[in-house]
Amino acid sequence: MNVIAQAATLPPSDTAAPAQPRWTVADVEALYQLPLMDLLFRAQQVHRENFDANEIQRSTLLSVKTGGCSEDCGYCSQSARYDTETGREALLPLDEVLAAAQAAKDKGASRFCMGAAWRGPKDKDLAKVTEMIRAVKDLGLQTCVTLGMLKDGQAEQLKSAGLDYYNHNLDTDASFYGQVITTHRHADRLDTLDQVREAGLKVCSGGIIGMGESRRNRAALIVQLANLNPPPESVPINNLVAIPGTPLAHVAPIDHFEFVRTIAAARITMPTSFVRLSAGRQAMSDEMQALCYLAGANSIFYGDKLLTTDNPEADRDETLFAKLGLRPI
């Protein structure tokens, strides 16, 4: 059997769950090992079976509560434990959030994602965030928030406010997690994702590549995401932005083709999910981004800022989309 046919016959490896293929780490490692051209071909096949391959979804991010976070995530500019350039700010007032959401809509974003540097929201914080969600939704934008770990009942409150998506990344493989974060566990992340699903919200969950993890760790992260039942509707794949002052400041950047392979693995294992080419685009050439789209990425963060770091200007994305014949949705 040729290598592409072999890849096409990967899972289901667990026939007990026919409704959703169960991927194994070995399955995904086998994808990573394909010759790049075969992997890209397979990813394009899957992509075209499920999406218009020339359409890209655009979400704009806003940090509504920046810095001073109690957690020790080794990549993060917002942890209070590290001496970074990011200061501590209070929760933004509603009018500032609305002005940013309107500007994002005017620029063409379809979703507005609000992030907070919290371990998890206190109930009084959540009340203010639900006001923001209602107001942003009234502008006609899809809404997403990322607020950390949720307590019982909080996901339901977000749902009642009209929230569409909750972002909560698994970030890295369970077996590597403790080397990057010690103040909460990988299992806690899964617990919040369960609560989000139970409340009827759509799930946005992905991870960070290039933190010094092994290929096996990367494959395991993809498997953990793909085997969520159902898989996340939205899967952000972040390339580490190395932040001075954090423990990961000096990690060697990941090989570009390894990153592209990760996008392709996400596309193949999560055929109907939007795979978002997320943090790290600022440092990528146009050609590298085009390869990521070819590998099946069909969503981006759009606008010149992520949470605390820079993202390509909207004009740069528009110029690249025009060159590639990509249409924003």
- By residue count, the chain amounts to 329
Provide the mask over 114-133, with x wherever binding to ligand SF4 is found by CB under 6 A and - wherever it is not: ---x-x--------------
* Gap between the Cα atoms of 174 and 187, Å rounded: 8
292 part of the active site: no
Minimum separation from the CB atom of position 149 to ligand SAM (A): 8
CB of 241 to ligand SAM, least distance (A): 4
Q: CA of 126: how far to CAs of 121, 138, 150, in Å? A: 6, 18, 10
Residue count, binding to ligand DTB (CB under 6 A)? 16
Measured distance CA(265)–CA(271) in Å, rounded: 10
Q: How many residues bind ligand SF4 (CB under 6 A)?
A: 9
DSSP structure string for 125-191: HHHHHHHHHHHHHHTT-EEEEE-SPPPTTHHHHHHHTT--EEE---BS-HHHHTTT--SS-HHHHHH
Q: Is the dihedral of CA 196, 198, 204, 210 positive or negative?
A: positive
**Secondary structure (3-state) at 297:** coil
Q: Specify the residue, 59 or 78, whose C-beta has the smaller distance to ligand SF4.
A: 78
208 binds ligand SAM (CB under 6 A): yes
Q: Is 121 in the site for ligand DTB (CB under 6 A)?
A: no
DSSP classification of residue 79: B
Side-chain-facing half-sphere of 66: CA atoms under 13 Å:
16
Under the binding rule (CB under 6 A), the answer on residue 142 touching ligand DTB is no
Tokens of 15: 């026939």
When asked if residue 241 is in the footprint of ligand SAM (CB under 6 A), the reply is yes
Q: Which of ligand DTB, ligand SAM, ligand SF4, none sits in contact with 79, Cβ below 5 to 8 A by type?
A: ligand SF4
List the catalytic residue out of 76, 261, 267, 292: 76
Is 115 near ligand DTB (CB under 6 A)?
yes
Contacts with ligand SF4, residue ranges (CB under 6 A):
69, 71, 73, 76, 78-79, 117, 119, 148
> Catalytic site residues?
69, 73, 76, 113, 144, 204, 276
Contacts with ligand SAM, residue ranges (CB under 6 A):
75-76, 78, 115, 117-118, 146, 148, 168-169, 171, 208, 238, 240-241, 243, 279, 307
